[in-house]
Structure 1
């Protein structure tokens, strides 16, 4: 009787399964565990996470790692997924020519057009001229209100403040004008230039300054000037308030960056420009057939990006014979917020971008070296055994209700892998670039989040809006009431519903937009990749020749991805769902379980 441990080293997680095997080849699964992978998959740093996972698993049955007779490692495929985002266009504004703004606490409502007048220059005001008064935080709200009330002869039609004091000023002045605050770099406001400001009513958004012709109407722009301010109008869509300036010496220009071309080297060599967009790029990848390598045009965005990915991989395999190749990419169209040069309050403009996940292969990774380290540290036999996708197929077969032939989709952090095992046990497999990490990057980029961690959390958990201290509105519209009052810090905020309680989203983003971006990112990556991968391994490359798909891997635990895939496969009459490895583990632990099962097969062989 022996203790056999299967260890699956993944991009994000290392999983362990321990079984008790008799001399007759019968196995009893005893325990399992997982922990975050240390280092990059397939490198010496993985030793630490393997030991941690083994120790945790054995402690659950009151045993030590020294009791293990054999550790079987997956052949951590020499594949690394990486992601990058490249913006195709960039709006550059010089001399603060036009600037949009969206503070959270404007006051008043309506539009106003006039010359910028700094508060310290109020004495220079000319009767009959409309002015927009600008005040830095050096002047208190009482001072600003007093100046406006004392100079009733000056035609002040709007106010711009540096401090967050719009409502305080509005409550103290004798006239009603739109007031915008939180303009951090108010010292850069040029005195005497034409400006237009707009504040929408509560619950509404601006209409004139989010329309290029509206800006042209208010500021008297020519047709050419109207064309150049279109990016500003676009950046102001959905805002509660805005200010647009026109400086005589200023100019706006759109700088189209050299996005570059992608070169596919496969059954057929294909060249495609990044400007063509994701659909054309993926069509070119399919035209290339079996891809041996991918590179980018030198000294362009995509060329530099692919070069960085290749260089990063070379750090892992520094051997002279290292053969580092990019064998697959997944391109996704998106919008990225770009900081506007010359902005007065850190404003951004959404620009077209392409997100790319790349799959990098090397000749070999030091799996035998990892095994040698573990043998020394654990004092037990460690063997590298089994191709990952084959082991995952064996593990998936322990899901109740499955039989051969069987297709699996292993959706992890860096890659989406597919395999089909037929009645004879033959396995056809593929590795595709793009999985959970690319989804997180798309969510972070499109929502303009500063923290990748919160993007990861948004990917994993459903949302709610706390509308009172005793109820929340869920993202599906359902109202949920609670017995104990909700922490006041969450009142009026969008929150994530995690297993550890509520997590507040700090950015002021509508819940509906977050849900839309999250679901679209998952569709773009997981649904697209599922079809790509299964089509590649399906008999005759026809999805209608697949009857059953089992979803395994970390992303199969997601609360909405399996349902998305089930809907997507409806037309093909494919039975698709989350795996339940050994009837207890859910979609996790497929490879580790397969490694233990394959040991029995070797015994019988």
Structure 2
């Protein structure tokens, strides 16, 4: 009897399976475990996670790593994802700016136009000239209200901008009701004497004039050329409760446009395609190219810089002199990305069309041999590189109850989507394609403007709810859920994630419906697109109708909505599709690690 360990190094998770091999070639599975992958997949840094996972697995059966006779590793190909902007216009406003953040407490309603006048300079005001008064936090709300009431008889005060969170408190004390915006952190940057338009929407509504370039032109008397330059500003104010736009002195707005660029496919049918044509046309060009040897981008463009950066990152992992670093597959998806408008006073961004790209990066020398040698030295155990992920996943998937040959599998991980078809006589056809869970997280982070990959991962994994009282919440499907014990007041009125170990509050002020839409769209763009192109490439005759059963495995198959999405999409092809249950106990995880142990028995025979 000897103990055999299969180790699957994934982009996000490293999984192990330990089995006991009998003299007659049969395998008795003993235990399994997983740990987060350390370092980039396919690099020596992975050894830390491998050892941690092996320790956890062996300790669960009262054994140690030294009892293992053989460790079998999968061939791990790194997959690196990044985004490329289709258009990127940087609007630089030098002497003035615009404010369009979304404070939770503006006061008043309506639009007003006037010159910016600092509250310290009210004595310089000219009767009959409309003013927008700006006050920093050196004045209390009582002082601001008193000064405004005192000046209201002699000056035309059309609106107010405050640094402190006190708009409602000031408005309650004014004799004349005017729109007031607060929470403007960099109020000291407001230029005195510049014409400004202010708008505060009614509760439940958003600004209308200042989110429309022609509305801004109407209020600030702009010509056609000036209207064109304020378009990014107007776009950034869509959906805001309040906004201010300042009329920039002539000559202070300039644009710096970096071209989107072309993608060059070095393949059987070499081709080039411009990023501006969008994800659908890019993926059509990839499909028509045949076997791809390498993908590169036009120099000094968005996509060229991105692909160069990806290759450079891989070059840091492969230090061999003859390193042949190639991008062999990409998945492109359309998205929207918030672009920061330079010169803004409150971090304003405007949404620009972008293309998200996951790239499959390969080198002539994958560092797997180094990983095996290091493990062998540190553990004193025989270590071998034993199989390709898609083949091993297929073997593992066959341990799912209710499966038989022929069988197709989709292995959906963090960085790549693998597909394989095993024929009745045991022949395996496989493909390894870029794009999976990490690209979904990147799209969620980008489209929602989170600036936090961890919370994007959480949004991807868990359903949402809105806490509407301390004893009930509205789920994302509209269902009302009541609780026996009071909900923590910190969650009141907030959108939360329903994690296994408690609630997670979404700190960014975003409507629950928008988060749900972005999450579901990102999953469809990545997983549905990749599932179809992967299965089509391995299906007999490249026709999905020749596939009858698909088993979903990998970490992303555990997702609470991806399998259902795929089931709906495959229904038109009469394909039976569902989550795998590896060895009848593991769910969709551990397929590759299990396959590595099973393949040992096959090699012995």
User: Shared topology, TM-score over 0.5?
Assistant: yes
Shift of 1:211: 2.1
**Correspondence 1:222-233 to 2 at 5 A:** 222-233=223-234
Question: Which residue number corresponds to residue 352 of structure 1?
Answer: 353
Shift of 1:194: 1.9
1:285-317 deviation digits (Å, cap 9, x = unpaired): 122111110111112221121111111111222
The answer (yes or no) to whether the contact 2:91–2:232 under 8 Å persists in 1 is no
User: For the residues of structure 1 that align with 2:30 and 2:79, how far apart are their CA atoms?
Assistant: 32
User: For the residues of structure 1 that align with 2:72 and 2:98, how far apart are their CA atoms?
Assistant: 63
Question: Which residue number corresponds to residue 142 of structure 2?
Answer: 142
User: For the residues of structure 1 that align with 2:410 and 2:226, how far apart are their CA atoms?
Assistant: 52
Report the more deviating stretch, 212-221 or 470-479. 212-221
**Correspondence 1:398-417 to 2 at 5 A:** 398-417=399-418
Secondary structure of residue in 2 paired with 1:92:
strand
Report the more deviating stretch, 180-189 or 454-463. 180-189
Question: Which residue number corresponds to residue 177 of structure 2?
Answer: 176
1:349-407 deviation digits (Å, cap 9, x = unpaired): 11121111111111232323322332333233222212221111000001111111111
2:499 maps to 1:498: yes
The answer (yes or no) to whether the contact 2:334–2:355 under 8 Å persists in 1 is yes
The answer (yes or no) to whether the contact 2:395–2:595 under 8 Å persists in 1 is yes
User: For the residues of structure 1 that align with 2:385 and 2:213, how far apart are their CA atoms?
Assistant: 63
Report the more deviating stretch, 373-382 or 314-323. 373-382
Question: Which residue number corresponds to residue 64 of structure 1?
Answer: 64
Question: Which residue number corresponds to residue 584 of structure 2?
Answer: 583
Shift of 1:81: 2.9
2:50 maps to 1:50: yes
User: For the residues of structure 2 that align with 1:191 and 1:81, how far apart are their CA atoms?
Assistant: 49
Question: Which residue number corresponds to residue 214 of structure 1?
Answer: 215
Secondary structure of residue in 1 paired with 2:346:
coil
User: For the residues of structure 2 that align with 1:493 and 1:85, how far apart are their CA atoms?
Assistant: 32
**Correspondence 1:57-456 to 2 at 5 A:** 57-76=57-76, 78-86=77-85, 88-94=87-93, 95-96=95-96, 98-151=98-151, 152-249=153-250, 251-456=252-457
Report the more deviating stretch, 8-17 or 554-563. 8-17
The answer (yes or no) to whether the contact 1:263–1:297 under 8 Å persists in 2 is yes
User: For the residues of structure 2 that align with 1:147 and 1:112, how far apart are their CA atoms?
Assistant: 19
2:559 maps to 1:558: yes
Shift of 1:253: 4.5
2:32 maps to 1:32: yes
- Residues 65, 382 of structure 1: alpha-carbon distance in 2 compared, 3 angstrom cutoff: same
The answer (yes or no) to whether the contact 1:190–1:247 under 8 Å persists in 2 is no
Secondary structure of residue in 2 paired with 1:473:
strand
User: For the residues of structure 1 that align with 2:536 and 2:558, how far apart are their CA atoms?
Assistant: 23
User: For the residues of structure 2 that align with 1:314 and 1:225, how far apart are their CA atoms?
Assistant: 46
Shift of 1:540: 1.4
Shift of 1:521: 0.7
Question: Which residue number corresponds to residue 602 of structure 1?
Answer: 603
Secondary structure of residue in 2 paired with 1:45:
helix
The answer (yes or no) to whether the contact 2:5–2:19 under 8 Å persists in 1 is yes
User: For the residues of structure 2 that align with 1:511 and 1:374, how far apart are their CA atoms?
Assistant: 47
Shift of 1:410: 0.8
1:50-105 deviation digits (Å, cap 9, x = unpaired): 221111111111111222222222222x3433323435222404232555343221
The answer (yes or no) to whether the contact 1:331–1:354 under 8 Å persists in 2 is yes
- Residues 225, 369 of structure 1: alpha-carbon distance in 2 compared, 3 angstrom cutoff: closer
1:522-566 deviation digits (Å, cap 9, x = unpaired): 111111111111111111111111111111111111111111111
- Residues 376, 212 of structure 1: alpha-carbon distance in 2 compared, 3 angstrom cutoff: closer
Secondary structure of residue in 1 paired with 2:292:
coil
The list of structure 1 runs, each at least 4 consecutive aligned residues, that deviate by more than 4 angstroms after superposition, is none
Question: Which residue number corresponds to residue 511 of structure 1?
Answer: 512
The answer (yes or no) to whether the contact 1:294–1:326 under 8 Å persists in 2 is yes
User: For the residues of structure 1 that align with 2:36 and 2:101, how far apart are their CA atoms?
Assistant: 42
User: For the residues of structure 2 that align with 1:320 and 1:371, how far apart are their CA atoms?
Assistant: 21
User: For the residues of structure 1 that align with 2:384 and 2:98, how far apart are their CA atoms?
Assistant: 65
Secondary structure of residue in 2 paired with 1:569:
helix
User: For the residues of structure 2 that align with 1:194 and 1:456, how far apart are their CA atoms?
Assistant: 44
Shift of 1:250: 5.3
The answer (yes or no) to whether the contact 1:98–1:229 under 8 Å persists in 2 is no
The answer (yes or no) to whether the contact 1:206–1:237 under 8 Å persists in 2 is yes
Question: Which residue number corresponds to residue 23 of structure 2?
Answer: 23
The answer (yes or no) to whether the contact 1:3–1:20 under 8 Å persists in 2 is yes
Gapped runs of 5+ residues in structure 2? none
Shift of 1:427: 0.8
User: For the residues of structure 2 that align with 1:153 and 1:405, how far apart are their CA atoms?
Assistant: 87
Secondary structure of residue in 2 paired with 1:50:
helix
User: For the residues of structure 2 that align with 1:407 and 1:595, how far apart are their CA atoms?
Assistant: 18
User: For the residues of structure 2 that align with 1:235 and 1:375, how far apart are their CA atoms?
Assistant: 56
- Residues 100, 370 of structure 1: alpha-carbon distance in 2 compared, 3 angstrom cutoff: closer
Secondary structure of residue in 2 paired with 1:69:
strand
The answer (yes or no) to whether the contact 2:11–2:78 under 8 Å persists in 1 is no
The answer (yes or no) to whether the contact 1:101–1:243 under 8 Å persists in 2 is no
User: For the residues of structure 2 that align with 1:227 and 1:307, how far apart are their CA atoms?
Assistant: 33
User: For the residues of structure 1 that align with 2:145 and 2:78, how far apart are their CA atoms?
Assistant: 65
1:412-452 deviation digits (Å, cap 9, x = unpaired): 11111111111111111111111111111111111111211
Question: Which residue number corresponds to residue 2 of structure 1?
Answer: 2
TM-score for the superposition, normalised by structure 2: 0.97
Aligned length: 603
Shift of 1:246: 1.0
